[in-house]
Chain A
Amino acid sequence: DTAVSQTPKYLVTQMGNDKSIKCEQNLGHDTMYWYKQDSKKFLKIMFSYNNKELIINETVPNRFSPKSPDKAHLNLHINSLELGDSAVYFCASSPGAGQPQHFGDGTRLSIL
């Protein structure tokens, strides 16, 4: 039983395209997150949502638009993809604020 699941696992696309990544958690958690991991493996928070409400937007370009239809889902839509967007994107969830986060297996985005 996958706790935090992301789709797709791999995404290869051309510069300028628009793409979406989906995330679902079956842990009953209230809080969900998106992270970007760069080529040096550094993990940086992008967005935090609590009960479908945006709590943190860590100065992410507005080409990135998260959407939370319910507290079990947090999807990430990216417009006008750029070369610098190539990275691994991780979704995570936690029971609430200040709690340990549980991560999905990542979506590897490659921009050609």
Chain B
Amino acid sequence: DVKVTQSSRYLVKRTGEKVFLECVQDMDHENMFWYRQDPGLGLRLIYFSYDVKMKEKGDIPEGYSVSREKKERFSLILESASTNQTSMYLCASRPTEYFRYGYTFGSGTRLTVV
């Protein structure tokens, strides 16, 4: 069964901390995405990557960066966590071919910044 695995289900971090959210997929997909989900705002794209070492800004990249050193792993970095980054973070992947099939999502990381 294909999988997107996010390393943590729940995280609590302090304001100003540097936070790493890790995502690994085992489907050999070229494309990986980071979304955040907030009530009333739906899923908003933070960053995505089409290939190793490539990254593109999504709709809300401010305060975030990403790293993709290997095809299967896509990391989201909060450089200095703030309380408005408290959210559910969802990682997703999809192949370049057959992209119309949509994404495979991970289970999400619920991040609380205090």
Do A and B actually bind?
Answer: no
